[in-house]
Chains A and B, each alone.
Chain A
Amino acid sequence: MTAEATVLLIVLPLFGAFLLPTIGRINASAAHWSGALLLALLPLLAIELWNLHSAGALPPLALGGYLAPLGIVLYPDRLSLTLVLALTLGSLLLWPRLHQNDATGRQATLMLLLVAGGNGLALAGDLFNAFVFYELVAVTSYALAAKLGSGDGYAAALRFLILSALGSALGLLGIALIYTLTGTLNFAHLAQHAAAFNSPLGITAFVLMVLGFGVKAELFPVNSWVPEVYGATSHRIAGLLAGIVSKLALLLLLRLITLLYSDVEVAGWLLFTLGLLGLISGELAAWRATDLRHTLAYSSIGQLGVMVMALSLPGESGMVALLALALHHLVVKPGLFLFSDGWHGTSLAGAARRGPWGGVLFLLFALSLIGVPPLPGFWAKLLFIREALAAGGPWLLAIAIILTATVLETAYLFRFLRRAYSRHGSAGYGAIGPDAALRASAFGATLVVGLLLLNPLTELLQQTAAEIIDTPSYIARVLDVPVEVTP
């Protein structure tokens, strides 16, 4: 395998997405399973590329042979490959079921498009391609969120679309401002001109991009779509959007803050403030919500708030904390969302008695989310709190609020567990279905594997974090020695 295979991470799912509707017309189940098979190839490819990268044999890819900063560059590094791996494995676990009234494989096609866009966003080496791929992810997520045949689903998706499209327009305005400042959009080239961003115009651009692209990251003032969409769409899609798509937007913000705005103090404090407000509002709303779906929706606003705060943590160990929080949330949130159909409303009471395995899984996810040792969630929170303590100042306030939020998390998650184990439930009615239980088991297994491999995983995270903050080597790798691909 050569470095050129990087491009397959985007091309293969795109190719599959365009082919599926045609295959679906001939045989629906063939389309459905071939899509899943294609998707299953991508994590293997990502692992191969990771090994190549570790051996130092995976340079940035200049598409069409045009070198950076003029050409389009794909930048595969540990961070982008981690995201690719998470996105492909996650969407494989959340792959739609074969449905009677979805004969042409609409959902499967959209999932492949989402993966193509997400991989592109993770690998993009310049701001404009990141924007284009972000839009691809956005458009597919509107379509996925619009649950067929449900009025509320359409309404929620449309309101999501309007907010997100406005956000994208503002983000594009921020990109335009950056272009007027520097005349380039290549990340590495921009990083060389980072001094230009410490100006009123540069900071305005940052605010616009954070608000614009923060919509998907459930950032504080632009997250009103979250409870609506997660309340109306299917539990799979809610898990996908909350767990995985939000991390893609977070990755874009991470690239901005590490490559462009690492020296602009205001940028860090803006993220800190918005993250803190998101944490407070999300956790309080989650505590007030009464059904599992909305509780999980609001609580993911709170947890993403912590991650947005962590974006501004200084240094390598701050990045390790951010990565740990993000990867943990990426596994636990979809797992929890899978319960939201079965453990819903009146069928909640006694659900864990009728489906004991579901109860065990929910307990595992809930304990890890709260951060009970020795589960991975505890280590992620511990890393964050340790780094925040070291940073001092307003971070101490953040620690106090996070610890309070942990109490709230315990309160609202155990409210559901207590109800699920209650003896008052109507007998033989409602539990999570075998499909959801299987998927949730897979996420639970991932969590347990993460716990068993905690030490090697931490080492990998440290390597990744060291790479993220090493801007000089990012610049050197892109602008000096990219490989050429002959068209």
Chain B
Amino acid sequence: MISLTTRRASEEAHRSGARGTPRSQGCTYSAALVALMLAGCATLPEDAFRLSESALEMREIQVRTYEDVTGVQILAASSAVLQDLGYAIEEVEKELGVLSASKRADASNSAEVAGKIALDVADCVLTLFLGCDNDSYKSSKDVQDIKMTLVVLPDLNQDGVYRVRLTMQRIVWAKDGTVYEQETISDAAVYQAFFDKLSKSVFLEKEGV
């Protein structure tokens, strides 16, 4: 990461050096240095292995329970939903109830693009005086890799009840192949939409459709 940032910073400095005035060169150099300071010395956040304040809330968003189902029914229903959504199943471990899947999708949802363009503009301001050339708006046509993992286990207290916990993360790639954004998805609506589909899928599975 350090070398990447340095390289990118020096490329930027080089590019502007070729066409810029001495003043803009100086500004670019200082911008590059600031970028190096921020990115080069990234340290592990102190709370990375501690439960965050929102941990309990996230658990509620990510967990649903299903009654009167067998282990096979709930796993089959889950993988059917993943397939409906176009995900490729990567890993199944029945003993531990782990089911993980991924897909590559278009990231140019209108709301997301709007957000990214706003960020690009901020980016242009940050790269001081460099000017925003066309490829600064590079993120409008990128792709994202989404990964979902379901953990499906029998409830410890009630027989015939299964507990499903879904977690999701994604990496958004910019057109030039760099990581634009990486995050754990925490939007409750996204999880709800998945569980709505899973409920229907469980019903269909039980009916043998």
Check if A and B associate: no
Which residues of chain B have a CB within 8 Å of any CB of chain A?
none
